[in-house]
Amino acid sequence: MSEAGERYREGVPTPLVDRLRLHAGEPVSDALRDEISGRLNDAYVAGALDEGAYRNLLGLLFDAATLGDLVPVAESLPRTPTYAEPAIVRSSGPGVLATTGPGTTQPVPTDSRDVVRRGRAAAWTVVGLGAVVVVLVVLALLLAL
């Protein structure tokens, strides 16, 4: 494996490796073989695997009969990012309404400052309403005297 490929490996099992180990005796499906082949191709194109490692892993992939046979291949794959943007946000542009639940919509924040500003505005609204309630209670007590 290339130096770039080693950079991605942390020795921590991935969900794919765990799944393969858990069902080690089951046969390999064509869909899983295609998924892993695609990830190997992406890793090779990105430079995470050198040509020798790539060819070796492809050989192991297509020779595998059971999911357990794929564990070494899956352990050699670069880790996939987990910070993907949800499709609904990605398909909407900044300021476009996105569904947040059944029958509800709200503007999609364009950046983190927008989220912070909205949070502060909501906090000040709660503080302001609390102050109004306190003033009304004090006035009611003064008028009752």
pLDDT in tens, 39-63: 899 888 988 888 999 999 999 999 9
User: How far is Cα 64 from Cα 77, in angstroms, rounded to an integer?
Assistant: 16
Predicted local distance difference test score (pLDDT) of residue 109: 54
Phi and psi angles of residue 66, each rounded to the nearest 5 degrees, phi first:
-120, 165
pTM tops 0.85: no
Q: What is the mean pLDDT of residues 8-36?
A: 79
Distance CA 145, CA 141 (A): 7
Report the pLDDT value the prediction gives residue 52, as an integer from 0 to 100.
92
Question: Is the model's pLDDT at 66 over the cut of 80?
Answer: yes
HSE-up of residue 62 (Cα within 13 Å, Cβ side): 8
Let me know: does 66 contact 28? Beta carbons within 8 Å: yes
DSSP code, position 50 = -
Q: What is the pLDDT of residues 67-91, one digit of tens each?
A: 999 999 988 887 766 565 555 555 5
93 three-class SS: coil
Lookup: tokens for 3: 């130096």
Q: What is the per-residue pLDDT for 69?
A: 93
pLDDT for position 1: 43
Residue 27, CB-side half-sphere exposure with 13 Å CA sphere: 3
Q: Find, among 61, 70, 66, 55, the residue nearest to 18 by Cα.
A: 70
Tell me the per-residue pLDDT of 88-109, one tens digit each, with 9 for 90 and over: 555 555 554 445 555 555 555 5
